[in-house]
Amino acid sequence: MKFNFISKIIICASIPVLFSNCEKFLDRDPLSEAAEKNFWKTENDALVGLNAVYTALPGERDFWRDCQSDNSVMTNAWGEGGLGYISMGNHNAATAYVQEEWRYDDIRKCLYYLQQLSKMSFTQDVKNRLEAEARFILALRYFRMVQHYGNIPLIKDEPINLDESALPRTDKNLVLDYALENVVYAIDHLPEHYTGANLGRINKGAAYMLKANIYLHQASIKQYHEGAADPQLWKQAYEAASEVLKMGYGLVDDYAEVFKQANNLNTTEVILARQYVEDKITHMLPVLASPAGTGITGNGWASFCPTRELVDSYLCTDGKDIRSSNLYDPAKPWENRDKRLKKTFMLPGEPVLRPNGKYAAYQPHPAYNMGEKINSEGGGITGYMYLKFNEPEYVKTDAGFANWPIYRYAETLLIIAESLNEFKPGDLQIKTMIDQIRKRAGLPLLSNSDLSDQAVMRKLIREERRHEFVAEHKRYFDILRWKIAEDVLNKNAEGINSNQNDLIGDWTKPRFLAQNRKFEKSKHYLWPVPQSSIDKNKNLLPQNPGW
């Protein structure tokens, strides 16, 4: 395949850590391009090539993948035809989003880059660091495919074409062993922090977070799926996350500020993020997260809607849920609640910026006949919308540039708490970790009696993970690894109360139905291997159970 990559080199070099414009740089056929003589010569060539590999990092599309969980619903037609199929249990081996996660093009990019880098001569420390960054991405992509598909083909060295290789699938644990080998290399050769033009690059903290997540996944599968709890795996997750505690990260006082465009490179909380830049590398999250008639432009699409169950799950400031707290008022349901509630969602009755520059109540019920009315074009289907990753005052709603956090310090704290609760329940450090999260949310700190009950702590930690990482595509993987999907994903997604005369916060009244959902535990814990790949490589058979 011919590819004129000189112009791509110029783009990549001019935007050092901003990778979307470099997308095609390594899309060339590696084998046919390997003989090119005008590249892979200098340290700068190696950096530009690596920037192209960075396009394999997860990005803003993970916002709408939260619709695979019980957190959100996707409303537009192309979403319903992809993520909607998954959340409704109607997906198959030909579903577009199922095929999208089969990322062997990214594996090939990483291996091709490592192959070329090995032939180059420049400062060894720099070379080791660039290799470490590429190996981190390689490990992350293998890990994510294991999460979706289980056993997958393992390609270690040559950047071969999977469809042409006839490779069979490899046991998932061997794939994760290989991923961990790459993560260990990354830990050994990456700096803790960067400065200047290198801000935003993969660092040692990110590598430890990936290591912790892999062990967290393995420990969960052993305990909840296989019934063979392994304290050592939980301990390894704990130890990896604990290394990040030493690196100077911390929680930002205001939860909402973590996700603002102005703070892309100015927060102590974000360990690693996919990078975006105004007018150069952007995403559409503001327009997708806004309903019509809101924001300074009024041009929202209302493509992603939080579910009623998610909104109702936020605790009151006494630490109790809305069904048991004396602080909960169905007429004023957003008061006396977890601070993250108002910072994450656009809520009925709450003031929202309008195109005239003034604030007016958000009124999604059809009875009000506002632009944001439910079940209308641009109106959403639950009556709730997102403020997280959405800045209503921003004019270019289809060109947002808030960075996409891959790892945050908040996750470090909650991994430590979860893993410690499993292999050393009752340890005081569990309380220390969770209290930092709860303090920012305006919730009461934990009591010693909470700490003494492992089951209570397990439930509480899971609630904190859900509310802390809404729309960051962690909930779906948590649901799967905890083996609770047959319970939480078999419930229909609902919205606001359907009768306008009912109190907006009266959780006993009938609601709008947003989506019928189904999860079959015999098959849906793994996705099917894409049919297009099986058609080219029969050694990928047998298909995953139930498919």
> Per-residue confidence at 204, pLDDT binned at 50, 70, 90?
very high
pLDDT of residue 81: 58
Average pLDDT over residues 32-48: 79
Show the CA angle centred on residue 177, arms to residues 173 and 180, nearest 5°.
135
Lowest mean pLDDT among 6-15, 106-115, 181-190, 421-430: 6-15
In contact, 526 and 148? CB cutoff 8 Å: yes
Residues 6+ apart with CB under 8 A from 9: 25, 39, 45, 48
Average pLDDT score, the chain:
92
d(CA 232, CA 229): 9
pLDDT at residue 80 in the model = 55
Q: What is the DSSP letter of 528?
A: P
Instruction: Identify the band that residue 14 occupies on the pLDDT scale cut at 50, 70 and 90.
Output: very low
Task: Give the pLDDT confidence score for residue 522 in this predicted structure.
Answer: 97
Q: Is the pLDDT of residue 34 over 60?
A: no
CB 363 within 8 A of CB 370: yes
pLDDT digits (tens, 9 = 90+) for 62-117: 998 999 999 999 886 555 556 888 999 999 999 988 999 999 999 999 999 999 99
- Whole-angstrom Cα distance, residue 177 to residue 545? 23
- Is pLDDT at 20 greater than 90 in this prediction? no
pLDDT reported for residue 458: 98
The confidence score (pLDDT) of residue 33 equals 52
Task: Using the predicted structure, report yes or no on whether residue 213 has a pLDDT greater than 60.
Answer: yes
- Whether the per-residue pLDDT at 315 is higher than 80: the answer is yes
Nearest to 248 by CA among 409, 359, 93, 379: 409
Per the listing, tokens 């993520």 go with 83
CA atoms of 486 and 508, how far apart (whole Å): 24
Q: Name which of 54-58, 59-63, 115-119 the model is least confident about.
A: 59-63
Q: Is the peptide bond before 153 cis (omega within 30 degrees of 0)?
A: no
- Residue 294, amino acid: T
Average pLDDT over residues 187-201: 96
If you average pLDDT over residues 367-390, what whole number do you get? 93
The number of beta carbons lying within 10 Å of the beta carbon of residue 153 is 22
pTM for the model stands at: 0.94
DSSP tag of 292: B
Lowest mean pLDDT among 216-220, 262-266, 330-334: 262-266
Lowest mean pLDDT among 209-213, 266-270, 438-442, 460-464: 266-270
Find the range with the poorest average confidence among 16-25, 353-362, 434-443.
Answer: 16-25
What is the mean predicted confidence (pLDDT) over 481-509? 97
- pLDDT band at residue 373 under the 50/70/90 scheme: very high
- 339: CB partners within 8 A, 6+ apart: 255, 440, 441, 442
φ, ψ for residue 351, nearest 5 deg: -65, 140
Say what the pLDDT of residue 35 is: 40
Question: Domains in the chain and their CATH numbers?
Answer: 6-64+97-258 (1.25.40.390)
Q: pLDDT higher for 39 or 224?
A: 224
Statement: residue 9 has pLDDT above 50? no
The pLDDT, as a whole number, for residue 412 is: 99
**Among the ranges given (79-88, 468-477, 510-519), the one the predictor scored with the smallest mean pLDDT:** 79-88
Q: Mean of the pLDDT values across residues 367-379?
A: 91
Q: What's the pLDDT at 163?
A: 79
pLDDT higher at 315 or 14: 315
What backbone torsions phi and psi does residue 218 show, to the nearest 5 degrees?
-65, -40
Chain segment 347-364, per-residue pLDDT in tens = 999 999 999 999 999 999
314 versus 80: the higher-pLDDT residue is 314
Nearest to 346 by CA among 495, 472, 479, 475: 495
Please state, for a pLDDT cut of 90, what percent of the chain lies above it: 84
